[in-house]
C-alpha cells in the first residue's frame, strides 16, 4: 500500500507499472503543478555506489531542456525509497501508435526527427539514455514527441567489475532480466548486449531499432528466447525495410542501416548528422523525387542554420553588408544620384510588397500541404491562428499538421509564429459559422458535389 503523499507530492492515482517501478499521477503541493512520480524498487537502489551514480546522472539529465525531452523536476528519497518526479506528459506511446497503425511514413519521420533532436541535446550534455524504445517515447495530442526516463537506465547496469565474457554475460542478462525488461533487450546495442562500456552511439543504435519499427511495424531483431534475441543483436544482420514495406525511399534504408551497424565506430558519429539525413529522407518522401546531390543539400542546411541566428547575431553583419552595397552603388552611380535613388526605391517597393503579403503567402503554403491529408475537410484562418477540421483526427493527423506548421514557422526570419488547432467535433452551428466566415482557405469537395462556375 503506497502512502497518500511522498514528501511534498500528493499521490492522485496510478499511471502504470514497469520494470523500473510504479508511476503515479501526483501533484507538487509547493508549485501546484501535476507531475509523474516514479517510485523505484528497492533492489535498484540498495547498492550505495549504484544509487549515487543514478542520482548524479538524473540530476545532470534534469539540467537538459529540450522540447522533445520530458523534464525531470526532482530526484529524492524518503523512508519508502528513492523517487523521481517528472513532467506529466499526456498522449500515446510510440508503441501504442505502432500497434494501432496510427503512424504513416511522414508521421514516423517527423517523430524520428524530434526524438533524434532531443537525443542530440542530451548527448551534448554528456547524458546517454541507454533505454531508447517505443515505450519511452510519447506523442502528445498536439503531435510533439517526448522522450521519457532519462537517467533511469543507469540503474540497469551491473556493478562495476572485470570485463565479462560476452556470451556468459548475455546468458546472465537474459536469465536475470528476461521477465522484467524483455522490451529493453530488443532495443539494446551490441555493446550493451556484450556488457561493454556504452556511449552516445549506443543510443543511436537503439534509435535505429525504434525507427525500423515505426516504418515497418516489425522489430529488426527477435528470437524465441531472450538469449536468441541478444545473439541476433550482436551478430545477425537485419532485413532491409524495403522488403517489409513497399514504396519506401531508398535513402531511408541507408539511414536505418547506418544506425544499426554492429561496430559503434561505423554508425553516425552524432545525432546532428542523423537529423540532417532524416530531413533529407522527409523531403524525398514528401516530393516523391530521389535526389543525391550532397553539395546542394549541404548548402540548404547552411541556409537553414542562418535562420536559427538571433537578431543580435545577424543584425550587425546585415547592417555592414547593407552599407557596403550602398557605398558600391554610390561609386558606380555617383554621377547619377537620381538613378541610385530610383534603384533603391524599386528595391524598397518590391520588399514592402513582399512583406505586406507575407502572412497570407505563408498561410497558403500551410494550406497547400495540409489539404493533401485525406481526412482534412476545412482549413480556416483567423490572424495567426489556423483551424483545421478533420473527419477523424488520429495521431498521425496531429503529427503531420504540426510538422507542416513548424516547418513554415522555422522559415520565418521574424514575426510571430502561426498556431494551429485541429478539430473533429464541431457542432452544426459552429461549422456553419466557420464556413461562412471570411477566413476560409480550403474546403474539401465531397463526392457528387458540383463545383460552381
Instruction: Name the residues annotated as catalytic.
Output: 131
- The residues near 401 (Cβ < 8 Å, ≥ 6 apart) are 143, 370, 373, 388, 420, 422
HSE value, Cβ hemisphere, 13 Å, CA-based, for 25: 8
Cβ(390)–Cβ(376) below 8 Å: yes
Q: Is the Cα dihedral 247, 251, 254, 256 positive or negative? A: negative
| Distance between CA atoms of residues 103 and 215, nearest Å | 8
84 closest CA partner among 150, 134, 159: 150
| Distance between CA atoms of residues 207 and 89, nearest Å | 20
**Could you give the residue ranges of the DSSP H alpha helices within 151-261?**
166-185, 190-193, 200-216, 226-235, 241-244, 250-259
Q: Is the Cα dihedral 181, 184, 188, 192 positive or negative? A: negative
Residue 150 three-state SS: coil
| Distance between CA atoms of residues 106 and 332, nearest Å | 51
CB atoms within 10 A of CB 242: 15
Long-range contacts of 181-184 (CB under 8 A, 24+ apart): 181/19, 181/156, 182/226, 183/133, 183/135, 184/19, 184/131, 184/133, 184/153, 184/156
What the block records as the C-alpha cell of 222 is: 527477435
User: Which of 262-281 are b and which e, b meaning 16 or more Cβ less than 10 Å from the residue's Cβ?
Assistant: eebeebbebbeebbbbbbbb
Residue 112's alpha-carbon distances to 50, 214, 388, in angstroms, are 31, 9, 24
Catalogue the E-assigned strands of 99-159.
137-139, 145-147
| Distance between CA atoms of residues 142 and 324, nearest Å | 46
| Distance between CA atoms of residues 233 and 194, nearest Å | 10
122 closest CA partner among 60, 192, 72: 60
Cβ(216)–Cβ(245) below 8 Å: yes
Amino acid at each position: 500500500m503506497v502512502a497518500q503523499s511522498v514528501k511534498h507530492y500528493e499521490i492522485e492515482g496510478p499511471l502504470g507499472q514497469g520494470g523500473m517501478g510504479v508511476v503515479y499521477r501526483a501533484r507538487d503541493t509547493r508549485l501546484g503543478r501535476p507531475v509523474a512520480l516514479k517510485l523505484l524498487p528497492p533492489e535498484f537502489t540498495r547498492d550505495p555506489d549504484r544509487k549515487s551514480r543514478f542520482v548524479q546522472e538524473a540530476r545532470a539529465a534534469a539540467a537538459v531542456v529540450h522540447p522533445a525531452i520530458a523534464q525531470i523536476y526532482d530526484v529524492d528519497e524518503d523512508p519508502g525509497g528513492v523517487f523521481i518526479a517528472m513532467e506529466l506528459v499526456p498522449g500515446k506511446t510510440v508503441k501504442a501508435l505502432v500497434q494501432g497503425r496510427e503512424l504513416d511514413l511522414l508521421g514516423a519521420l517527423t517523430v524520428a526527427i524530434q526524438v533524434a533532436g532531443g537525443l542530440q541535446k542530451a548527448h551534448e550534455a554528456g547524458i546517454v539514455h541507454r533505454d531508447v524504445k517505443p515505450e519511452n517515447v510519447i506523442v502528445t495530442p498536439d503531435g510533439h514527441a517526448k522522450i521519457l526516463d532519462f537517467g533511469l537506465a543507469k540503474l540497469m547496469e551491473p556493478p562495476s567489475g572485470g570485463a565479462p565474457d560476452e556470451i556468459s554475460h548475455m546468458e546472465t542478462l537474459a536469465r536475470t532480466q528476461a521477465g522484467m525488461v524483455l522490451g529493453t533487450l530488443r532495443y539494446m546495442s551490441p555493446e550493451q548486449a556484450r556488457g561493454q562500456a556504452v556511449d552516445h552511439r549506443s543510443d543511436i543504435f537503439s534509435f535505429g531499432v525504434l525507427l525500423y519499427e515505426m516504418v515497418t511495424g516489425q522489430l529488426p531483431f527477435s528470437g524465441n528466447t531472450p538469449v536468441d534475441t541478444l545473439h541476433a543483436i550482436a551478430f545477425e544482420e537485419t532485413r532491409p525495410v524495403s522488403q517489409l514495406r513497399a514504396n519506401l525511399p531508398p535513402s531511408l534504408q541507408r539511414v536505418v542501416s547506418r544506425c544499426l551497424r554492429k561496430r559503434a565506430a561505423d554508425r553516425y558519429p552524432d545525432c546532428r548528422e542523423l537529423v540532417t539525413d532524416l530531413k533529407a529522407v522527409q523531403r524525398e518522401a514528401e516530393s516523391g523525387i530521389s535526389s543525391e546531390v550532397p553539395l546542394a543539400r549541404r548548402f540548404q542546411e547552411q541556409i537553414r542554420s542562418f535562420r536559427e541566428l538571433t537578431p543580435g547575431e545577424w543584425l550587425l553583419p546585415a547592417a555592414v553588408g547593407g552599407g557596403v552595397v550602398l557605398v558600391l552603388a554610390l561609386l558606380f552611380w555617383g554621377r547619377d544620384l537620381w538613378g541610385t535613388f530610383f534603384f533603391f526605391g524599386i528595391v524598397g517597393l518590391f520588399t514592402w510588397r513582399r512583406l505586406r503579403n507575407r502572412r497570407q503567402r505563408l498561410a497558403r503554403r500551410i494550406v497547400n500541404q495540409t489539404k493533401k491529408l485525406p481526412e482534412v475537410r476545412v482549413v480556416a484562418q483567423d490572424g495567426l491562428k489556423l483551424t483545421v477540421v478533420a473527419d477523424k483526427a488520429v495521431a498521425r493527423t496531429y503529427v503531420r499538421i504540426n510538422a507542416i506548421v513548424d516547418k513554415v514557422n522555422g522559415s520565418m526570419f521574424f514575426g510571430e509564429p502561426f498556431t494551429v488547432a485541429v478539430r473533429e467535433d464541431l457542432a452544426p452551428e459552429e461549422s456553419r459559422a466557420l464556413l461562412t466566415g471570411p477566413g476560409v482557405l480550403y474546403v474539401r469537395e465531397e463526392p457528387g458535389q458540383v463545383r460552381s462556375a
